[in-house]
Structure 1
Amino acid sequence: MATNVVVLGAKGRMGTTLVNLALADTELNLVGVCEREGNAGGLNYDGCLTADCLDDLLPKVPGAVIVDFTAPESSVAMAKIAAKYGNPAVIGTTGFDPDQLAELEILAKEIPLFWAPNMSVGVNVLLKVLPELVKALGEDYDMEMVETHHKMKKDSPSGTALKLAQCLAEARGWEYDDVKKHCRDGIIGERPHKEIGVQTLRGGDVVGDHTMYFFGPGERIEVTHRAHSRETFASGALRAAKWLSEQQPGSLYAMADIF
C-alpha cells in the first residue's frame, strides 16, 4: 500500500524537489503540502491538500508522514504539532542545538520520528566504513576535513561535516567537543596531535562536498563525497518516510536504523 506523505516548506528548493519526486513515486501519495502563513498561494496539485497552517492540515490527513527540511525552530515546532495529531515525521533539517535535539528525542517517544543531517545513501555508508579506516591507519595519521556548500546555506559547519567528524573522533576514542577546530587564524603554533580540523567553504550553488584527509608519514589519503543534486537527499528522505510509516514510537530514528 502506498505511503501518504505531507511536504513542509513545499516552495523551497528542497521542498520542490521532494514534491516532484513524491508525485513520480508509485509507492507514495502526496496528500498535503504546507508553507508559511500567507505563502501557500500557487501550490496546486491534483488530489493534494494545500495549507499554510499545519494545525489545519494534519487532522485531514491522519497517519500521513511529514517530510521537513526547513529550519531548526520550525522543525521542532512541526514535531510538536505532529505529536498532537499522531503523524510520523522525517526531518532533514540541520543546525539543531543540543536542547532542540533533546526535545526531538522526547517527542520521538510519542510518534515515530526520524532525523538525519544527511539523507544520502553514500554518506551513511561512509559513516559505517570510516571507523575501520581510522583504526587501520592508526594514531600516526592526522585527520582533517573541508566541507563546501552553496552560499545560501545558513549553518556552519554543515550537519553532515559534524556527523562525519564525530564519527572520526569516536573511532579514535575521543570526545569531539574536546578535539574540534572549526577555525584557524593568526599565529596558532604547531597542530596538536589530538585535534580534528573542519574548515568551511561557501559559494555559488554547490549542493554539498565533503573531503576527509588522513595525513600520515610520507603520504595522505583523501576520501570525498560529492552530492550532484538535491534529489540525492530528497530520495533518501522519501525512502525514510516509507520505512517510518511502519515503525512505532520509541527513539529518534536515523539512517543507520534503515540499513
Structure 2
Amino acid sequence: MALLLKAPCSGISQLEKTQIFKKQCFSLGNVNNNNVVFSRPRCLVPVVLSMSSTTKPIQELETPSSKNFNIPIMVNGCSGKMGKAVIKAADSTGLQLVPASFGSEEESGQTIEVCGKEILVHGPSDRESVLASVFDKYPNMIVVDYTVPSAVNDNAELYSKVGVPFVMGTTGGDRDKLYKTVENSKVYAVISPQMGKQVVAFLAAMEIMAKQFPGAFSGYSLQLMLFCIKVLESHQTSKVDTSGTAKAVISCFQNLGVSFDMDQIQMIRDPKQQIEMVGVPEEHLAGHAFHMYHLTSPDQTVSFEFQHNVCGRSIYAEGTIDAVIFLSKKVQSQADKRIYNMIDVLREGNMR
C-alpha cells in the first residue's frame, strides 16, 4: 500500500522519478553523511497498492459555494511560511482574521500584510495583556499556533491562563507538560503535530491494522527514507529533527512485528539530490515531505512499499482550518471532552 500525495511538476512524472530514484538508492551500498544506506534485495516480487492524490494551491481550493464561517482566528507565527499559508486558507474559507499576532522580540511592532490584511506582531513582553484584550474583543476567537518549537509550552500556558481555545500545529517542546497544562486549565484545544488530513487518515489506518493484526509483518525488514524539509529558512543550518509522522508509522510497524530502531532512519537533505534523485520540484525545496517505507520478507521474495509525498503547505493549512471549525463547534456546544487531535477532527466528518 502506498499513500502518494504529490504536487504536479513538468517533464518526467513524479512516479517515474520516484521509480528511477528507488533503483538508484537501493543499489547503493552503505554510505555515510546522511546519504542512502539501502541495498537492493536480490530477488523481489513487489506488492504495491497505490493511492494517489494531488495537493492543490490554496487559491484553487476556493469555490463559489464556500461557506463563510465567520469565526475569529488569531494566527500566531504569522510571519512564517506556515502561518501565512494558514492565513490564506482562512481568508478563502471566510474566517475572520484577527489583526494581531505573536512573534519574536525582533518582530515586535512589525506589520505583516497577507491577503490584503495587515497584522500587527507583538513580542513576548506584552503577550498576556494583548491576548486578554483581543479575546475580550473577539470572545469566539480561536488561536492557531505555528510559532517556533521552543515557544510551545510557554504559549500553551498563556492560552490556558487566559482561557482561549487554540489549535496547535507546532511540534517540539515538552509534550507531556503541554497536555498536562491544557488538561488542568480545561481549555478547549486541538493539538496535533501532523495537520494534513489525508496523512492523518493514513496513520489512523496504520494504527487500526497494527491493533487488529499484530505481528502480521513479523520477520520483515524495514528500510525508511525521509526527504523532508519542513521549514527551511535562509539562515537555518541546523540539523532537521526526525519527522513525527515517520515515528508514528514506525511505531505501527513495530506493533506489526517489524524490528526497526528510530536511529536507522536515513534522511536526504541535499537540495541537489532532492531535485535530481528524489524528484522534488525546485519550487518546493523549502517546503516538502517525502517519506518512503520499504518492507522486505525474510526470504526477500516479497516487498511492500508505503509512500506519502507532500509538496507545499496547503495540505496542512487546510487541515488546520478544519480543526478551527471543529473546535469552534465544540466550544459552542460546551462539549465534555476538551483536548482533541486530528483523528477526532476526521471522525467528526463534514469537512470542506
2:270 maps to 1:203: yes
Whether 1:233 aligns to 2:316 is: yes
State the superposition RMSD in angstroms: 2.6
Do the aligned partners of 1:112 and 1:249 also contact (CA within 8 Å) in 2? no
Matches within 5 A, 1:114-153: 114-131=190-207, 135=213, 137-150=216-229, 152=232
Q: Which amino acid aligns with 1:139?
A: S
Q: Is the 8 A contact 1:108 1:250 kept in 2?
A: no
Per-residue deviation, residues 17-42 of structure 1 (Å, max 9, x unmatched) = 1122212212x111133322241413
Which of 72, 77, 100 is the aligned partner of 1:4?
72
Cα displacement (A) at 1:146: 1.6
Aligned partners of 1:209 and 1:227 also within 8 Å: yes
Q: 1:144 to 1:108 in 2, by over 3 A?
A: farther
Do the aligned partners of 1:142 and 1:214 also contact (CA within 8 Å) in 2? yes
* Matched letter for residue 218 of structure 2: E
- Post-superposition Cα deviations, 1:172-220, rounded to whole Å, max 9, x if no partner, equal 4x9xxxx65244xxxxxxxxxxxxx422222331511111222114021
Question: In structure 1, which of residues 103, 121, 132 is the aligned counterpart of residue 177 of structure 2?
Answer: 103
Question: What's the counterpart of residue 345 of structure 2?
Answer: 258
Give the Cα–Cα distance (whole angstroms) in 2 for the partners of residues 249 and 86 of structure 1.
16
Q: What is the letter of the counterpart of residue 97 of structure 2?
A: L
Quick one: percent identity of the two aligned structures?
A: 22
Aligned-pair CA distance for 1:154: 5.2
Deviation at 1:167, TM superposition (A): 2.6
Residues 1:133 and 1:220: Cα distance change in structure 2 (over 3 Å):
farther
Deviation readout 1:35-70 (Å, 9 max, x if unpaired): 222414132467765231432432223342111122
Deviation at 1:133, TM superposition (A): 5.5
Distance 1:250 1:208 in 2: 32
Query: Cα deviation per residue 1:46-98 (whole Å; 9 max; x = unaligned)?
Result: 776523143243222334211112222212111111111111111112233xx
Q: Which residue of 1 aligns with 2:112?
A: 43
Partner residue, 2:274? none
SS at match of 1:94: coil
**SS at the partner of 1:202?**
coil
SS at match of 2:250: helix
The superposition leaves residues 224-258 of structure 1 with CA deviations (integer Å, 9 ceiling, x where unpaired) of 11112111111111111111123357554211111
State the distance in 1 between where 2:239 and 2:323 align. 24
Measured in 2, the distance between the counterparts of 1:52 and 1:9 equals 10
Distance 1:209 1:254 in 2: 23
What letter matches 1:106 in structure 2? K
Q: Return the letter of the residue paired with 2:296.
A: F
* Structure with greater Cα Rg: 2
- Alpha carbons of 1:47 and 1:222: their partners in 2 closer, same or farther (altered >3 Å)? closer
User: Within 1, Cα distance between the matches of 2:320 and 2:309?
Assistant: 18
**Structure 2 gaps, min length 5:** 1-68, 233-237, 272-284, 347-352
Taking the TM superposition and a 5 Å limit, the aligned residue runs for 1:6-85 are 6-26=74-94, 28-31=95-98, 32-39=100-107, 40-44=109-113, 50-53=120-123, 54-59=127-132, 60-61=134-135, 62-85=139-162
Which blocks of at least 5 consecutive residues in structure 1 are unaligned? 184-196
Taking structure 2 as the reference length, the TM-score comes to 0.60
For structure 1, which segment, 56-65 or 146-155, has the greater mean C-alpha deviation from structure 2 after superposition? Answer: 146-155
Aligned length: 237
The match for 2:35 is none
Which residue type is aligned with residue 235 of structure 1? E
Shift of 1:145: 2.1
What amino acid is aligned across from residue 138 of structure 1 in structure 2? F
Which AA in structure 1 matches 2:203?
L
Q: TM-score, normalised by structure 1?
A: 0.80
**Is 1:165 the counterpart of 2:250 in the alignment?**
yes
